[in-house]
Structure 1
Amino acid sequence: MRLLSLRQEVCIWSDKCAGHISRTQVHLTAEFYRVAAILYLYNTYPGAAPSLERPGSPMSPKAITSISALVRQAFMLLDRMDVCASPWPLFIVACNVKEDRDRIEIMRLFDEGSKERRIGNYDVVMGLVKAIWNRVDLNSDQAREGSARVSDWREFVDVRMGIPPFA
């Protein structure tokens, strides 16, 4: 569980050709990736996720964060970013949202990102996210209990529609 207690340091080496680099944006993006990595860990290996049934974990309380708290943290980071130009962490967050208002915000962020980067990846990833949301919604009994999860997002990839860049 080293991922939960890692200390992140971002080094930025300016270059004459690089132009202006916003240190704040770089740090926000790095933290967004870290939060998404923890969400991905919890989704891939549910035994790693904090549980109410496992009190008294040896990990520090600060390090152990619930999925919903990580999603909230991701949205706070996104609110501080100029634009989200990273499809993978946004996809991971999208797979973990439950509320319609959060889904609407995710769709807005994907739309904004696709306009900024002008690449087709965002459309492919958004199609994948919608397929996952549909599956979760179809499992309405589990969704009401908050336990509806997609075990492997790759089962939703339609190669005719394109493959996400992180697949």
Structure 2
Amino acid sequence: MKKPVFLVGYRCVGKSTVAFHLARMLDVPWVDLDRDMEEHARCSIEEFVQRHGWEAFRELEMLTLQRVLEEGFIVVATGGGIVTRPENIHTMRAQGLVFHLDAMPETVAARMAKDHKNGVVRPALKGVSALDEVQEIMAARAPLYAEAAHGVIKTDDLSPEAVAEEIVRSL
């Protein structure tokens, strides 16, 4: 397995956890783009966005994607909005396989509510209720995820290990 596998999808669909299990199953290096960006920026995503804005964050995200590919990471858990830049979709599709991890908005909102790091790692994007935000942004990004993905996996009722196994079967 030499081609990178990119996991895309909205917040809390399981990208990072699935990436960990997938990389173990394939015995390859993996990276979580959000955590990598935080390490290199030496601040949380929330702090970065507050200081520099969303456009600067998206630029950093694009540069980080390019860097981690050069570093040889094979499994890449992306941030939920990586598909908002067409060049990211092109890069991922041209260099590897893209799997859209998807879940119902209600599942995502429930997972977000249980995530103790939600306010720090996942800053609010719209300033509305979690479910309203999830529904609105998932609907807006649906065509972008569809454009990016080689395959879609619904994660609502699957464990992260089962999702990773499904990806392995698809490779």
Give the alignment's TM-score, normalised by structure 2: 0.33
Q: Which of the pair has more CA radius of gyration?
A: 1
The higher-RCO structure (CA 8 Å, 6+ apart) is: 2
Query: More strand by proportion, 1 or 2?
Result: 2
Give the alignment's TM-score, normalised by structure 1: 0.33
